[in-house]
Structure 1
Amino acid sequence: MSAVSYLESIVVGALQGVSELFPVSSLGHSVLLPALVGGSWARDLSIGKGSPYLAVLVAMHVATALALVLFFRRDWVRIVKGFWTSIRYREVRNADQRLAWLLILATIPVGIAGLLLESLLRDFLGKPVPSAIFLALNGGVLYAAERFSRRRRQGEEDTVDFSTEDTLVMRAVTVEEATDVRLSKLSVKEAVLIGSAQILALLPGISRSGVTMVAGLRRGLDHEDAARFAWLLATPVILAAGALKMPTLFTPENSASLGPALAGSVVAFVASYISVRFLMKYFETRTLTPFAIYCVLAGIGSLIVFAW
């Protein structure tokens, strides 16, 4: 197979950095864009088995995860500290300890499913027509979630109980800490259900962040908290997948794609960081509806192009 060019990698890196965090499916767009452009792009950017493009995409996903680690670095410091103290003292008493274990338990189902199903689903469904169908379905799911998700009782979303011992006493509590306290109050069942929604993102066209947010909204989270939990959940999953698959980028047959992979990963990192900053502000007051409309239109439009 042909090596990925610098231009192709940079364009796909920008697309990956945005579409992985926006609820519009990075994998679906990574399949549809080359097919729509055609020519050498369709030839070079195929996600078939052994494709250098697939190895480059893995590197870009890792770059996105690193951008999330940087953006949520204060959260991850508290979470890692909470996990360490939980192990050391054999307790789960405060918000950081509980959130650490919720994230671990919630990522187990998608980890198992990814090992068992990812290659199979990618090889059979990683084509333009299935990707277009799933992208349109993704939009329908986002729209349905906005219309039918359960709403919290008035005032509940702003109420955090700071009287318990899992809170920070005698100092100001940041917005991020207050959000993590709310997330830590999810039950294990709720957290696992939300995390399991990521399994659907193995289908090209279904957004990881989108379906995880939808599951969070259904469990009573508001948009901002649902987005935050979705990205915290996605980070270890993407990093773990990258650790397993990154070695394929360094095989002799992919050596020509190393430079483009690095360039595209840098672009993906920057685009991801800008995207998460934008979306955290966006979801303070806005909804998934614009993304739902885009996915439906883009999915149906792509389907018309490729089906006829």
Structure 2
Amino acid sequence: MDWLQIVLLSIVQGLTEFLPVSSSAHLILVPVLTDWPDQGLAFDVALHLGSLTAVVLYFRHELATMATSWRHSLAGRGTDEDARLAWWVVLATIPVCVFGLTFKDVIEGAMRAPLVLAGGLIVFGLLLGYVDWRHRGKRSEYRMNWRDALWIGLAQVLALIPGTSRSGITMTAALMLGLSREAAARFSFLLSIPVIVLAGGLESLELIRSPLPVDWMAMAAGAVLSGISAYLCIHFFLAFIKRIGMQPFVVYRLILGIALIWLFG
């Protein structure tokens, strides 16, 4: 990869990982539209590491409190709202782990076609727009129950379809269950941590088994740029989501989906 490709892919990953616009669609499309070679498994691992670092740093205080309360709950010392939130993150992660491991080969094969991406962008974009318009509520993520967490976790399974957007579908489910926009976004971002860890772990295992050489400079640059752009994305998204809502992202998804159908249909 040349430096233009490294910089562009890193920023695209950082921005789209947490926005409801599908990072996988953008990372698949960039090489297709530019005729660049595939970025390779090592670079994907670096981009995931950057995104993970960003979300952990942004929510470091919340995560520390949740981890302490969760340990206390395991030791039988009571369960407060932080412990419950930690348990809901764990519960909501289980479905995507089961389905992701079961259908991994199918997902990485034919489902990465441009028209599949277009369908995911349009269909789930329209669903997000409708739910944001009609069903959002005022509950915070700390007022969730186990049923809410399970439904959001089951919705997250749909993100295995390229073009759906993991953050988009989890925010859609959270809004449908009556969470506020900010709460839906915050829970979606917290839920991204175990998902990114698991996805990055699987890619790392494949990388270890691979005989191909690793460009450590490209990996380092990708991780740093992805992390910076992801951190800024989280900050500004949470700052403006109450005012801007989801509709601008819905419009973007529709335009991108229609463009894909026009290009590859």
TM-score normalised by length of structure 2? 0.93
Does the aligned pair in 2 maintain the 1:122–1:204 contact within 8 Å? Answer: no
The one of 105, 109, 112 equivalent to 2:95 is: 109
CA distance in structure 2 between the partners assigned to 1:254 and 1:220 by the alignment: 48
Aligned to 1:121: 107
Aligned to 1:13: 10
Aligned to 1:277: 235
CA distance in structure 2 between the partners assigned to 1:292 and 1:265 by the alignment: 28
Q: C-alpha deviations, 1:111-164, integer Å up to 9, x for none?
A: 111111233112111122222222222321221222332x44xxx65xxxxxxx
Structure index of larger Rg: 1
- Residue 24 of structure 1 aligns to which amino acid in structure 2? V
State whether structure 2 residue 187 is matched by structure 1 residue 229: yes
Residue 251 of structure 1: how far off its partner (Å): 5.0
Does the aligned pair in 2 maintain the 1:59–1:246 contact within 8 Å? Answer: no
State whether structure 2 residue 15 is matched by structure 1 residue 28: no
Bigger Cα displacement from structure 2, 297-306 vs 126-135: 126-135
Against the structure 1 CA distance between its residues 134 and 54, is the aligned structure 2 distance closer, same or farther, given a 3 Å change threshold? farther
CA distance in structure 2 between the partners assigned to 1:24 and 1:5 by the alignment: 26
Bigger Cα displacement from structure 2, 115-124 vs 24-33: 115-124
Q: Counterparts in 2 of 1:1-308, with a 5 A limit?
A: 4-38=1-35, 41=36, 44-45=37-38, 53-88=40-75, 90-149=76-135, 151-152=136-137, 182-251=140-209, 253-307=211-265
Number of residue pairs matched?
265
- Residue 109 of structure 1 aligns to which amino acid in structure 2? P
Runs of 4+ aligned residues of structure 1 deviating over 6 Å after TM superposition are none
CA distance in structure 2 between the partners assigned to 1:125 and 1:55 by the alignment: 22
- Residue 54 of structure 2 aligns to which amino acid in structure 1? A
**Local SS of the residue matching 1:204:** coil
CA distance in structure 1 between the partners assigned to 2:61 and 2:17 by the alignment: 22
CA distance in structure 1 between the partners assigned to 2:29 and 2:119 by the alignment: 11
**Local SS of the residue matching 1:220:** coil
**Local SS of the residue matching 1:84:** helix
CA distance in structure 2 between the partners assigned to 1:18 and 1:263 by the alignment: 16
CA distance in structure 1 between the partners assigned to 2:204 and 2:3 by the alignment: 19
Does the aligned pair in 2 maintain the 1:10–1:260 contact within 8 Å? Answer: no
CA distance in structure 1 between the partners assigned to 2:211 and 2:67 by the alignment: 38
- Residue 131 of structure 1 aligns to which amino acid in structure 2? L
Residue 244 of structure 1: how far off its partner (Å): 2.6
**Local SS of the residue matching 2:213:** helix
Percent identity of equivalent pairs: 33
**Can you give the 5+ residue segments of structure 1 that lack an aligned partner in the other structure?**
46-51, 158-181
Residue 284 of structure 1: how far off its partner (Å): 2.8
Aligned to 1:48: none
CA distance in structure 2 between the partners assigned to 1:260 and 1:233 by the alignment: 28
**Can you give the 5+ residue segments of structure 2 that lack an aligned partner in the other structure?**
none
Against the structure 1 CA distance between its residues 37 and 272, is the aligned structure 2 distance closer, same or farther, given a 3 Å change threshold? same
Bigger Cα displacement from structure 2, 52-61 vs 94-103: 52-61
Aligned to 1:166: none
Does the aligned pair in 2 maintain the 1:6–1:264 contact within 8 Å? Answer: no
Q: C-alpha deviations, 1:157-178, integer Å up to 9, x for none?
A: 5xxxxxxxxxxxxxxxxxxxxx
**Local SS of the residue matching 1:33:** helix
TM-score normalised by length of structure 1? 0.81
Name the Cα RMSD after superposition.
1.8
Q: C-alpha deviations, 1:242-301, integer Å up to 9, x for none?
A: 123213334554324433222112111011001001101011322110000000011111
